[in-house]
Chains A and B, each alone.
Chain A
Amino acid sequence: MDFATALQIADSAIRLATPLLLACLAGLFSERAGIFDIGLEGKMLAAAFMSAAVAAVTGNVWLGLGAGILASLSLSAIHGVASITFRGNQLISGVALNFLASGMTVLIAQTWFGQGGRTPSLIGGGRFTSIELPFAEALRDVPIFGPIYYEVISGHSILVYVALLCVPLTWWVLFRTRFGLRLRAVGENPAAVDTAGVSVIGMRYTAVAICGILCGIAGAYLSTALAAGFVKEMTAGRGYIALAALIFAKWRPWYALSATLLFGLLEAVANRYQNIDMPSWLAITVLLVMAAGLVWGGRKGRLDMAVLGGLAAILAAVSVAIWMGSTISEGTTGLPVQLMQALPYILTVVILAGFVGRATPPRAGGEPYVKER
């Protein structure tokens, strides 16, 4: 792989990471305030549709962005009413909202545009165009730094820079302001916040609203910057990857940036290379080392041995299959593209399993707050 290819992959990784980052920060605000949100996917989808629809009709992408944020906020409002006011199950509410967005976007798109659940392609002012950062052209010939600045850093749509700026902003709001302290406290120990005379309900609604706004921007980015128009189910599980990134990031803003960049990179690599060849001996070694690690981890009890040992047996079987097949394919093994696609989810499960670090969610997450009378 040469330098130019690496730059292209990095560029595409940033583009693909942006919606994940925005949605991940959205989830961060909500979950830090103690409201689980598995409806990130639905909010992004609704926003993607609304912003593409309004941008297509008016030709103004900024109006589209506003409409997308409103669509996402309306779903946030339902989530808030269900999970804060009526103290319902937050997970079930999120599931319902995902389906609601998935069905309603197609229904409305079909009624408005009659193109089988999609919006017309966006042209001209209906899209966010890429902006060139200052001196990008002038610095282009500077070795190493020039191409990186020109290809990777410059030349994205404004929403990419907004998303990147949201990271320090989120950190500052959460960890350096009174509002942030209260928001985090609401997610850890709402009774204490209530005792201090701050409205738990109010704080949680605010957090859910911020989540809605960020998901709205993420959705608008998908349909008006990354693509040129809305198509059915265009979020394609990104809301869930953002959720995975949130756990991966242990509910911290800077970690969220690196987690989403990693997942964006995985997606970019999977898009570019359908088949990655690696030496068979390396694949076998990696698998066997993982199997040995699992057996070591499962030595404590019968159940651990059954589950982890079973997994290790599967890994060992796969490595045997690779070994048998390696003579035919001259010592190389194709890494299946499906593995690349599943990697964010697998990594998240590994993190959740506590093998690598430990992810502790906010303590009061998912629990409705009942004020003492």
Chain B
Amino acid sequence: MDRLPPWVDVVLIPIISLILAFLISGLVIIGIKEDPVEAMRTMVQGALGSSYGWGYTLYYATNFMFTGLAVSVAFRASLFNIGGEGQAMMGGLGVALACLFIPWPHWSFALVGATLSGAAFGALWAAIPAYLQAKKGSHIVITTIMFNFIAASVLNYVLVNQLRPQGSMDPASGRFPDTVALPNLGDILGLVGIPFSRSTPANITLFVALIACVAVWLLIFRSRLGYQIRAFGKSEPATVYAGISPVKITMLTMLISGGLAGMMAINNVMGEAERLVLNAVEGAGFIGIAVALMGRNHPFGVFIAALLFGFLYQGGAELGLWTSIPIELRIVVQALVILFTGALDNMVRMGVEAIYTRFRKAPPEVIKAAEAAE
């Protein structure tokens, strides 16, 4: 069978998968007796039609960039980190502790400190599954799923029994001090003269996420460790033969992955809620799976896919607000994207391959050989 040219693999197949997912979502909308065209219009208008909508889209996209990068780094080493949700929860705890108990003089110090703390908590939460995978061969998918649930229990305990202010019924921490409030995206863009809504949760973390995308690109494609991670992902025996320790690579990859997921908390906990609530992550850890699959585990792809899912999330919320389509539609679209870009990838690929071989012009030397044979 012929090899497909790289652009087909990197660009065309994800786009076809995405179109399939959206077509089926359209059928679902027709099935619940609503108008898909109208729904699309509401989504575009609500998510991209105003700087307010853009603010929310970018806010969600920031979350998804972190979790998408987390999943994709692990995928590069053939590890399926399904525990982004739990790691982001623990990252939230790390950020909250840093913001509540350290008297920061200025938000910029707080941002650095909270980022480190969130990343450390996320990484430590990934450390035990990583250790069990590396040393005991316990399947990382199962252990990270279990750790998601354990994280939820830990967070529940800490919020209800420890961090909850006296007299409050809400399982949430107290408000962070004003000195750690991060600058809003509207304020930042206002400095350079771009008018942007100030009432959205989008904040400076967006730029941290962009830096993280570049840093992951440098790590994966321009560093020795990144090379080792990719080699390990392609073939474990070959890396062992090359003198690379699988234990070391598994540990480091998962620590980086968990750290990235934990860093998401500076956006949602420090930037938006400014206190730690029980359901702060809201499934962003799982959306990271869809984002990583869609973005083909490449930081730039993750960036694009995160924007797309940001649009989907904000647009879906608008649908829930203005139409009678339930907000859960976005979970269905998310499921279909994961299904087509992840599980049914071969189906799309086989289809594309069949069409490609059919319409491909035969290379000149083959034609010459055929003529010679005659």
User: Chain A interface (Cβ within 8 Å of chain B)?
Assistant: 38, 78, 81-83, 86-93, 95-100, 102-104, 106-108, 110-111, 117, 237, 240, 243-244, 247, 303-304, 307, 310-311, 336, 338-339, 341-342, 345-346, 348-349, 352-354, 361
Chain B neighbourhood of A100, CB < 8 A: 332, 335-336, 339
Task: Report the Cα distance A240→B134, complex, angstroms.
Answer: 23
Extra A-B contacts (9), CB below 8 Å, given A100-B335, A104-B332, A243-B145: A86-B343, A88-B344, A99-B335, A107-B332, A110-B326, A111-B31, A244-B142, A311-B128, A341-B153
Going nearest first, the 9 A-B pairs with the smallest beta carbon separation are A103-B331, A93-B343, A99-B335, A342-B153, A103-B332, A92-B342, A100-B335, A352-B138, A96-B339
CB-based contact B141/A38 at 8 Å: yes
Task: Report the Cα distance A110→B147, complex, angstroms.
Answer: 32
A-B contact pairs, 23 of them (CB 8 A): A87-B346, A88-B342, A92-B338, A93-B342, A93-B343, A93-B344, A95-B286, A96-B343, A99-B334, A100-B332, A103-B328, A103-B335, A108-B32, A243-B142, A304-B135, A336-B157, A338-B153, A341-B153, A342-B149, A342-B154, A345-B149, A349-B128, A354-B136
CB-based contact A342/B331 at 8 Å: no
Q: Which of B32, B128, B331 contacts A99 (CB 8 A)?
A: B331
Task: Report the Cα distance A15→B160, complex, angstroms.
Answer: 29
- Residue among B127, B141, B143, B289 having the largest count of chain A Cβ atoms under 10 Å: B141
* Nearest chain B residue, comparing its CB with the CB of A359: B138
CB-based contact B335/A92 at 8 Å: no
Chain A neighbourhood of B128, CB < 8 A: 307, 311, 349
CB-based contact A107/B328 at 8 Å: yes
Chain B neighbourhood of A78, CB < 8 A: 339
* Nearest chain A residue, comparing its CB with the CB of B34: A111
- B251 interface residue (CB < 8 Å to A): yes
Task: Sort chain B's interface into a size bin.
Answer: 35 or more
Q: Which of B31, B147, B342 contacts A89 (CB 8 A)?
A: B342
CB-based contact A91/B141 at 8 Å: yes
CB-based contact A107/B326 at 8 Å: yes
Also in contact, A91 and B131, with CB within 8 A (given A86-B347, A111-B32): no
Also in contact, A103 and B338, with CB within 8 A (given A91-B141, A303-B251): no
Q: Which of A91, A244, A348 contacts B80 (CB 8 A)?
A: A91
Q: Which of B327-356 contact A (CB under 8 A)?
A: 328-332, 334-336, 338-339, 342-347, 350
Task: Report the Cα distance A281→B132, complex, angstroms.
Answer: 31
CB-based contact B161/A86 at 8 Å: no
Q: Which of B121-164 contact A (CB under 8 A)?
A: 124, 127-128, 131-132, 134-136, 138-139, 141-143, 145-147, 149-150, 153-154, 156-157, 160-161
* Nearest chain B residue, comparing its CB with the CB of A336: B157
CB-based contact A92/B131 at 8 Å: no
* Nearest chain B residue, comparing its CB with the CB of A247: B142
CB-based contact A346/B150 at 8 Å: yes
Also in contact, A352 and B289, with CB within 8 A (given A99-B334, A342-B149): no
CB-based contact A349/B339 at 8 Å: no
CB-based contact B156/A338 at 8 Å: yes
Also in contact, A303 and B135, with CB within 8 A (given A86-B347, A91-B141, A237-B149): yes
- B28 interface residue (CB < 8 Å to A): yes
Also in contact, A92 and B343, with CB within 8 A (given A103-B335, A338-B157, A353-B138): yes
CB-based contact A107/B153 at 8 Å: no
CB-based contact A102/B328 at 8 Å: yes
Chain A neighbourhood of B138, CB < 8 A: 349, 352-354
Also in contact, A348 and B142, with CB within 8 A (given A95-B286, A117-B326): yes
- B82 interface residue (CB < 8 Å to A): yes
**Nearest CB on A from B145, distance (A):** 6
**Nearest CB on A from B295, distance (A):** 14
CB-based contact A352/B150 at 8 Å: no
CB-based contact A349/B141 at 8 Å: no
CB-based contact A38/B145 at 8 Å: yes
Task: Report the Cα distance A99→B124, complex, angstroms.
Answer: 27
**Nearest CB on B from A182, distance (A):** 25
CB-based contact B82/A95 at 8 Å: yes
Also in contact, A352 and B286, with CB within 8 A (given A100-B332, A240-B149): no
CB-based contact A104/B28 at 8 Å: yes
- B293 interface residue (CB < 8 Å to A): yes
**Nearest CB on B from A51, distance (A):** 20
* Nearest chain B residue, comparing its CB with the CB of A82: B343
Also in contact, A93 and B339, with CB within 8 A (given A87-B346, A107-B332, A108-B32): yes
CB-based contact B127/A307 at 8 Å: yes
Task: Report the Cα distance A361→B143, complex, angstroms.
Answer: 14
Q: Which of B25-76 contact A (CB under 8 A)?
A: 28, 31-33
**Nearest CB on B from A310, distance (A):** 8
CB-based contact A86/B346 at 8 Å: yes
Task: Report the Cα distance A47→B346, complex, angstroms.
Answer: 28
Chain A neighbourhood of B131, CB < 8 A: 303-304, 307
Chain A neighbourhood of B350, CB < 8 A: 86
- Residue among B28, B131, B329, B343 having the largest count of chain A Cβ atoms under 10 Å: B343
- B247 interface residue (CB < 8 Å to A): yes
Chain A neighbourhood of B132, CB < 8 A: 349, 352-353
B7-37 interface code vs A (CB 8 A; 1 in, 0 out): 0000000000000000000001001110000
B156-191 interface code vs A (CB 8 A; 1 in, 0 out): 110011000000000000000000000000000000
CB-based contact A83/B147 at 8 Å: no
